[in-house]
Copies of this chain bind each other. A is one copy, B any other.
Amino acid sequence: MNALVAVYRLHAPAADVRERAEAIALEQTVELPRAAVTDPFVEREILGRVRDVRPEPGGTHLAEIAYPLACFGDDPLLLLGVLFGNTSLQPDVELVDLELPAGAARVFGGPRHGIAGIRELAGVRDRALTAAALKPMGLSPEALADFAATFARAGIDLVKDDQGLVDQETCRFEARVRAVTRALDRVADETGRRPVYTPYLAGSPRELPARIELLARLGIRAVMVSPMLAGVGLLADLAREGRLVILAHPSWGGAGRVAPELLLGRLFRLLGADASIFPHAGGRFAWREETCRAIADRLREPWHGLAPALPVPAGGMTLDRIPELLRFYGRDVMLLVGGSLYLAEDRLEERARAFVRAVTEASEEVSP
């Protein structure tokens, strides 16, 4: 197979689905009526081809369309554009899956650090990992740095910025990452332990280079990015550069008609996310367990030799759910607990310690 195969769900009458699928194959590649495609190279190496259209229970159909690799080459924007660019505007079509040849997967490269790299960076061999977020927006760099120090003393493995923190007047990017770094240095001097600080890296193409350079100067090794807001090119750039561990954030990722396991699982992994955050069922988000299972599978399953990426379920997890979460995901997971820690107010360190302890204990109950 020398093509990418995308799978779409069609909400259309059975009599129309073949024609709808043919229309998608044209739309996503040449954007021309079939009769206007006359160049032999374009016909052979560019034109999308319908491979299969089959009914599903419930009356929808699945259409498989093959796109030649020349359509997108090594370009992440073209990859997403070919998969769903204009067709995202069709209310009756969902993008549900993709498969591509191993060679094309290697072109994008997948996670450069992956689960093993995150474990090494965090110094955690085989238990599940813990993460906490610095929030809310509106606090000063120093206030957030105090939270970071508290989480560090409690033994949290990874401390990330909230996605509400970019470069506001109340909390400039540079001031924040410097303050948090200093605070974590101080705790490391006391305790010998240092969580992986993961700033939120966002911004426009003009703003990003200085922020990325600052991270390098401070020796910061991990970042969180929102590919659907900052652009998928940022994710791919950072992965190709290879220095930083990348935690993908799902902001604007619930496109409604893209399967979450495809976008947050397969596509973010393909483009280089080392870990991917998503809401776990039963928290603040009405997601089903099977969706979460599918995301975790797409992130971790063997796939063309790409490194596995770490699932980071989040979205309203509480400490009492940790044993259940570990049974569900196993140990190769990072649990991100946010709000329920902050409810502890001046007992934040104690609550964070309880979180770390619960994850450590529950890890022993589940197979590696």
Contact = CB atoms under 8 A, between A and B. Distances in A.
Interface of A: 23, 27, 29-33, 35-39, 41-42, 45-46, 70-73, 75-78, 80-82, 84-86, 88-92, 133, 135-139, 143, 162-164, 166-170, 202-209, 226, 228-234, 236-237, 250-257, 260, 278-279, 284-287, 315, 338-340, 342-343, 345
Contact of A232 (B71, B229, B237): B229
A33 B135 CA distance: 12
25 contacts: A29-B137, A30-B136, A31-B163, A31-B339, A32-B342, A33-B342, A33-B343, A35-B343, A37-B136, A45-B138, A72-B168, A77-B230, A78-B202, A81-B251, A81-B252, A85-B251, A89-B250, A89-B254, A89-B278, A204-B236, A205-B205, A205-B237, A229-B232, A230-B233, A231-B231
A35 B78 CA distance: 45
A228 B228 contact: yes
Is the contact region of chain A dominated by helix, strand, or loop, or is it mixed?
A: loop
Contacts of A89: 250, 253-254, 260, 278-279, 285, 287, 315
Contact of A39 (B42, B46, B138): B138
Contacts of A139: 39, 41-42
Nearest to A37: B136
A38 B144 CA distance: 14
B78 A32 contact: no
Contact of A88 (B71, B230, B253): B253
A77 to B, nearest CB: 5
A41 B206 contact: no
Contacts of A45: 138
Contacts of A203: 75, 77, 233
A166 B228 contact: no
B257 A32 contact: no
Contacts of A169: 70, 73
A343 B229 contact: no
A136 B29 contact: yes
**Nearest 3 pairs between A and B by C-beta?**
A204-B233, A256-B256, A231-B231
A236 B230 CA distance: 12
A91 B234 contact: no
Given A31-B162, A233-B231, A76 B204 contact: yes
Contacts of A85: 163, 226, 229, 251-252
Nearest to A88: B254
